[in-house]
Chain A
Amino acid sequence: MSSSTEINRRSLLRLGLGAGLGLAAAPLLAACGDGGTQAKAGAKDAALLPKTTPRNIGLKPDLPGTAAGVPNGYFTYPAQPTASVKGAPLKGAKTVKATLQTYAPPPPGRDENAAWQAIEKKLGAQVDITIVPADDYPTKFSTMVAGDNIADIFMYPETGGADNKAGFLAAKCADLTPFLAGDKVSAYPNLAAITKAAWQDGIFGGRLYGIPISRAGSGGVGFYRHDLYAQAGVESLDDLTDVAAFVELCKDLTRPKKDQYALSATAINLLAMSYGAPYDWRLEQASGKFTLDLETEEFRKAVETARELYKAGCYYPGSLAMTAAQKEKYTGFFKNGKAAYVYDGMPAYLTPSTGYLDAMAGVDKKFDPRPMTPIGSSAVAWPNNLALSYVFIKKADDKRVKQLIALADFAAAPFGSEEYTLINYGVEGVDHTRDAKGNPVLTKQGTQDTVVPWRLFGSAVPDLFSTSSEVGVRHLHAAYSKIIPLMLPKEYAGYSSPTWDSKGSGSLFTLKSDGLKDLISGRKPMSAYDQLVKDYLAQGGEQARTEFQEALQQGKKVTAK
């Protein structure tokens, strides 16, 4: 049967090719925006950093923190929270549009969310928050940027942001230097409690743009089963005098017939920190040379030890190959008693119900999970958790920028304040009730109302508190007290490398983690280690090193002047 509209493949393809080329250019052009400023290597000016002033609203911690980053620990919640912000910081402001990523299911909307309503009442304005799942955030962010649709205040994605971040920030975002640098941050006392180390990564192209959602500095080195370690004769982690002792312990704890293994998933970070390997880069101040972690003898030793552990069968079968997407599975091996160690961040310890402490008590009361610390006399801790992320403010007039910084200041309210209570526990009687000790306990509605990610507008180092376990707070505080003094300075953060900014936590990280899994699992011989280093350097590592070194030299010239 013939038809006047018969399909002709050739004409269809011709049409497709011509139009396809035209369309293909569109997203590229759109994505460029007007980010004309090219990112350059350079030293970050210390004068841009806001001055750190610890926040004190009159609470006395049960376990005091330190200026170096050990958080305060509390056993009870204040009966009468006090305000940490004067008045309504957004009074008279027009509606704020915000975009934040979330790690939780969506909360009930404003109309059904008592906490949201109470926070807006206290702020003095409406805040419309677009909440995006963390995994989808890079896609959403790209379309927002390309469509020139960025919110008044937004989080920057961990991966998949603009290729030229400094250019994007200069073109689209408010320069916060005039509002926050040096003593000026004192107008925002909650933000002033953020450490300089956390602010450092908010500097791009010689200006301060990012407000940190800061953390204790180190994410720790995972968790171990104290009861199993004690059965094997290790009553205290101090008994593990070196990595060799840890290896022997792991072999001892591995009993496949009992379905018990020493490790679940990776232990490379624990081993590398225990040997004293640097965090990403080591800077030798005298020579001005940057050395990649993979190039150091300490990191190589860590890989060799990890291989030895794998060969001895110490990893729970299949767990080493698991990715972040399978986190529940590999942490589950630890939680259900099949593994004696797992690498995870310390913030996951005290989380009510699903944190290690509560979840494992539900499986077996004998399980005694505790935070691990690096092993041996050469041990260091990596500054890998200075900030969860950063928030940026869209270009606007000074009045609006100040309002949005005030919103971040409100979100960064310290433990025990009225603002902190509203953000974390919602409205008393609706979202939380007080237990016998006077501690707030979330109601069912509260568990949903409080997942609105207000705390991601900005944060100082979070304090430690648990309604269910004083012992847990003590364990965590003790671990931080041991780890924070071991923490290396993040030296390279003082210098800008556009290559590192775009590839360091993206393609280079993937190359490294995949390569290490191949080596540790024995899929590749140890001789392939050198090739991994070469590939890493060839695919951007060497370029990043050159840029860091240029930045260092530039910094020295500035200082000399």
Chain B
Amino acid sequence: MEKPTIPGQALKGLALTLVVAAVVYPLLAVIGTSFASQTDVLKGSGLVLWPDHPTLDAYRTVFQGGVVMRALMVSLLITVTGTVASVLATIGMAYGLSRRDVPFSRFILMAALFTMLFNPGIIPNFLLVKELGLYNTFAALVAPVLVSAFNLVVLRAFFMNLPQELYDAAKVDGAGDFRVLLRVVLPLSKAVIAVISLFYAVTYWNAFFNALLYLDDSEKWPLPMVLRTFVLQGRSMDGAVAGEALAPQQSVQMAVLVIAVIPILLVYPFLQRYFTKGVLTGAVKG
């Protein structure tokens, strides 16, 4: 292998530094602004990297009244229960669809994949949720997105990739389907399950649109919905006379953003070792 030249190394270092700066700068600016006073924000025309007058005012404002804390709890609840429910449903469905002798499996798979190509649209979804009696309940945030077709395909492909001999051996030992899944398949699928769990968790954590559509009661709003109102406050529609809406306090917006980002950021390091393996598994399978 050719030895890297010093200019080449320097260029690579520069390129990497720029990439890292492009990622890290916005994060630092968000954190810096969340600790900035209103005057710092105005003087800095928006984002502040290093506030002259650091203050916890934005965080005090955010936690005052309990709106953000309540939303944080709702988000945690939805993320945990939704992820558990989704992973269980996806495992069950993927396992069933990976077996050869399940009746109508082809039709069920097609129906699931169909949702990847065609989304029913906002209004049919809304009508369905309403008719199922889920309107203004937390279940409306989970049920419509319980199984992701993408995650289903990844997991099914992984299950199909496991050697058939393992299934046969377990069957010979007298194991039923449930025991095969529990004792043979799942222990071998930790990586891929960790990855789809992360996908589901991130989806539930970030979801605001279903909350907007299906929840009337703002006390049930998850954190992204509250964050959205903080970010959008002060915006007036293009056609409206300006001035009715207050210009938002940038530091408060950034404080909510920090609070929203930290929990999900903490999950990544624990799952990263599974990540590459899990995503690549089944990526080339149809």
Contacts and interface: CB of A to CB of B under 8 A. Distances in A.
A15 interface: yes
B46 A1 contact: no
Main secondary structure on chain B at its contact with chain A? helix
Contacts of A388: 240, 244
From B232, B247, B250, residue with most partner A Cβ within 10 Å? B247
B246 A351 contact: yes
A128 B217 CA distance: 8
A103 B67 contact: no
Interface in B132-184: 135, 160
B9 interface: no
B22 interface: no
Contact of B126 (A6, A23, A147): A147
A7 B286 contact: yes
B243 A332 contact: no
B5 interface: no
Contacts of B113: 7, 12
B270 interface: no
Given A26-B124, A139-B122, A143-B122, A510 B38 contact: no
A387 to B, nearest CB: 10
Contacts of B130: 147, 149
A354 B218 contact: no
Interface string B223-265: 0001011101111111111111111111000000000000000
A355 to B, nearest CB: 8
A278 interface: no
Contacts, number: 224
Interface in B180-239: 212-213, 216-219, 221, 226, 228-230, 232-239
A12 B217 CA distance: 40
B280 interface: no
Interface residues of B, number: 66
B66 A108 contact: yes
B81 interface: no
B78 interface: no
Contacts of A109: 70, 217-219
From A11, A23, A327, residue with most partner B Cβ within 10 Å? A327
Contacts of A328: 46, 234, 247-248, 250
B106 A5 contact: yes
A105 B226 contact: yes
Contact of A23 (B121, B135, B212): B121
Contacts of B105: 4-5
Nearest to A513: B238
A347 B244 contact: yes
B67 A336 contact: no
A147 B127 contact: yes
A385 B123 contact: no
A324 interface: yes
Contacts of B117: 12-13, 16, 20
B1 to A, nearest CB: 37
Given A3-B160, A26-B124, A108-B67, A12 B114 contact: yes
Given A332-B46, A448-B64, A105 B230 contact: yes
Nearest to A113: B65
Given A27-B121, A105-B67, A158 B237 contact: yes
Given A5-B105, A362-B42, A139 B213 contact: yes
A445 B234 contact: no
B153 to A, nearest CB: 9
From A345, A445, A513, residue with most partner B Cβ within 10 Å? A345
A215 to B, nearest CB: 8
A167 interface: no
B174 to A, nearest CB: 25
Given A130-B217, A363-B43, A105 B233 contact: yes
A260 interface: no
A117 interface: no
A109 to B, nearest CB: 4
A215 B234 CA distance: 18
A333 B118 contact: no
B235 A4 contact: no
A31 B101 CA distance: 44
B97 interface: yes
Interface of A: 1, 3-7, 11-13, 15-16, 19-20, 23-24, 26-27, 30-31, 97, 99, 102-109, 112, 128, 130-136, 139-140, 142-143, 146-147, 149, 158-159, 215, 219-220, 323-325, 327-329, 331-333, 335-336, 338, 343-349, 351, 353-355, 359, 362-363, 384-385, 388, 444-445, 447-449, 505-506, 509-510, 513
8 contacts: A12-B113, A109-B218, A128-B216, A324-B238, A324-B242, A333-B45, A355-B246, A505-B239
Interface of B: 38-39, 41-43, 45-46, 60-61, 64-67, 70, 97, 100-101, 105-106, 109-110, 113-114, 117-118, 120-124, 126-127, 130, 135, 160, 212-213, 216-219, 221, 226, 228-230, 232-250, 286
Given A5-B109, A139-B212, A448-B67, 11 more contacts: A4-B100, A4-B106, A5-B100, A19-B118, A20-B117, A20-B118, A109-B218, A133-B232, A215-B241, A345-B241, A509-B238
